[in-house]
Chains A and B, each alone.
Chain A
Amino acid sequence: MEIYALLGFVLILSIYLGLELISKVPSTLHTPLMSGANAISGIALVGALALSSDTQLQEILALLAITFASINVFGGYLVTNRMLKMFKKK
């Protein structure tokens, strides 16, 4: 049980850190930030890779989780990069 208290602590601190870091974002970057954050949520891929596959159902679920998380990761980073490259100063 102790591990949950510890990781819960990490969770709260990270959310607080996130709120502090991004609180003042210029509106020009709203879309890229959202899309870039979206790519980061593809971190679920790491979780999907750690899944066990003892039964056939678990194998299928792991495969699906890895596939969809990968779409999120690759698509998210590429499109964010494409978008950011368009922003130019005068």
Chain B
Amino acid sequence: MSIFNDISAIQNIIYIFSSILFISGIKMLGKEDTAVKGNFLSAMAMFIAVSVTIINVVNPIIVIIGIGIGALIGSLIALKVKMTSIPEMVALFNGFGGLATFFIAWSEFNAIPDNVFQYVLIMLTTYIGGVTFSGSIIAYGKLSEKLKIQKDSIITKLFTTLFYLSILFLVYSTALTSFIEIPIDFYKVLLILTLLGGIGFVLPIGGGDMPVVISLLNSFSGIAAAFAGLLLLNNVLIVAGSLVGASGLILTVIMAKAMNRSIGNILFVGYASTSKSSGSQETGEVKPINVSDAYLILENATSVLVIPGYGMAVAQAQHVVRELGELLEENGTEVKYGIHPVAGRMPGHMNVLLAEANVPYDVLVEPDDVNPSMDTVDVAIVIGANDVVNPSATEEPGSPIYGMPIIEVHNARTVFVLKRSMSAGFAGVQNPLFFKENTRMLFGDAKDSIGGLVSEFKE
């Protein structure tokens, strides 16, 4: 008996050491110079915590099989995935973490809890873990464009109802724990409703709001792990889980601020119902431009600002964009990249794509840095971005996106907009930028258009 006590005491001491490593790791992950080291420290923390837990594990065969399969699948996905698919892959991994806590809670229910606290924790861990899992799978489906269900379809409405029902059932069952021992059948209903509810949570949320949803699900997976830690009385689970919960929460708030919307509005209302009018019915002539004319203007520009959006990711245009940037610099032009926080489908999506194409991160600038000096920019090239450069956000108080911080490209001397067609952006708002005096539309696939400019420069 005393040996077991000793092992448990040693484990707890090492868990504290591991927690300190996690804390320093995540701190360093937040700074450019130390990020790689921070990730390594956090991996070390994980290794130490897992190793010290394995010492007195009950069933070694299960452990070896489980970790073996998990390591194989996880490593394969991580090393094979293309950088453009990072958003959906993060969603998938996140879902798996949630699923693990879901199973932990389920198993603990079968271990027959001996007090009300444990019952409540099991309910909460089951719910948060389960919603993280099924919600992340739906996010994965939406991000990889394998799942296409309309917001106002009957299926979406059905699942949304199930989501609200699942919350009610969770509240009901946690309240019930004070009075009776929860029967297994009752718990099974919670298991099923939780998974269906998670689907209903994410299904109605549109693609452009995905940065918020992913951050929030990220936060949930941490909170689920922290609750599992309370359930199992394990301090390292609590500390590490809380850190993840906090970082996810911060990103969620940053994303919501960048859209000038409340988190509640994003999750439960969506763009379409924020305003009936779709902003100004701006009409007028759009002025198309072809590649060779665009080249002539670029050749004489002294400063160029590139604003990428989700369209650049779809067209896989980041490599030709970098090539164009290099050619412009050889030509004596100053090139910067204006990155809006919510451009793309996850926080920092554009930064990752440009990094993959070898664009150094110190030429990437944020809206606040670039807006004051916009009138000195000769050419702003908008590649597949729409709502984040929509001047309605600053000019029209009636617009659904009014108040959202944007990159004010309309103040640049000339604007090139690379676009496939004249369709509205995700928000469904017409973009007056396209009709401005200084705007030229370069229609077509972004990769082809930029490629055309590159070959003009090479001639």
Contact = CB atoms under 8 A, between A and B. Distances in A.
B245 interface: yes
B46 interface: yes
Nearest to B366: A27
A9 to B, nearest CB: 10
B94 interface: yes
Interface residues of B, number: 108
A35 B83 CA distance: 13
B49 to A, nearest CB: 5
Given A11-B238, A18-B26, A27-B347, A87 B244 contact: no
Interface in B59-80: 59, 62-63, 65-67, 69-71, 73-75, 77-79
B281 to A, nearest CB: 34
B128 to A, nearest CB: 11
Given A19-B250, A78-B78, A34 B218 contact: yes
A41 B244 CA distance: 6
A22 B30 contact: yes
Interface residues of A, number: 81
Contacts of A53: 58-59, 62
B103 A61 contact: yes
Contacts of B301: none
B450 interface: no
Interface stretch (B33-41, B197-205, B272-280, B285-293): B33-41
Nearest to B117: A4
Contact of A70 (B42, B66, B228, B233): B66
Contact of B242 (A4, A15, A49, A69): A15
B53 A87 contact: no
Interface string B16-58: 0000001101110111100110111011001001100110011
Given A15-B246, A17-B243, A43 B39 contact: no
Contacts of A46: 49-50, 53, 234, 236-237
A44 B97 CA distance: 7
Chain B interface main SS type: helix
Interface in A21-40: 21-40
A24 B115 CA distance: 41
Contacts, number: 373
B74 A88 contact: no
Nearest to A3: B233
Contacts of B236: 43, 46
B69 A57 contact: no
Nearest to B344: A31
Given A28-B32, A29-B32, A38-B218, A11 B352 contact: no
Nearest to A17: B23
B39 A32 contact: yes
Contacts of A24: 30
A75 B78 contact: yes
A54 B66 contact: no
A55 B117 contact: no
Contacts of B22: 40, 43
B312 to A, nearest CB: 15
Nearest to B363: A90
A15 B355 CA distance: 31
B448 to A, nearest CB: 25
Nearest to B343: A27
Interface stretch (B104-112, B139-147, B400-408, B428-436): B104-112
B97 A80 contact: no
B167 interface: no
Interface stretch (B85-93, B380-388, B389-397, B415-423): B85-93
Interface string B351-371: 110011010111110100000
With most chain B CB atoms within 10 A of its CB, the pick from A32, A47, A48 is A47
B311 interface: no
A22 B86 contact: no
A22 B247 contact: yes
Contact of A7 (B39, B67, B238): B238
B319 interface: no
Given A21-B246, A41-B240, A61-B106, 11 more contacts: A36-B25, A36-B39, A42-B46, A42-B97, A44-B224, A44-B228, A46-B49, A66-B66, A68-B70, A68-B96, A85-B36
15 contacts: A14-B238, A28-B364, A31-B347, A32-B39, A32-B352, A34-B247, A36-B25, A37-B29, A43-B241, A44-B237, A68-B99, A74-B71, A77-B39, A84-B39, A90-B363
4 closest A-B pairs by CB: A70-B70, A18-B246, A66-B66, A30-B348
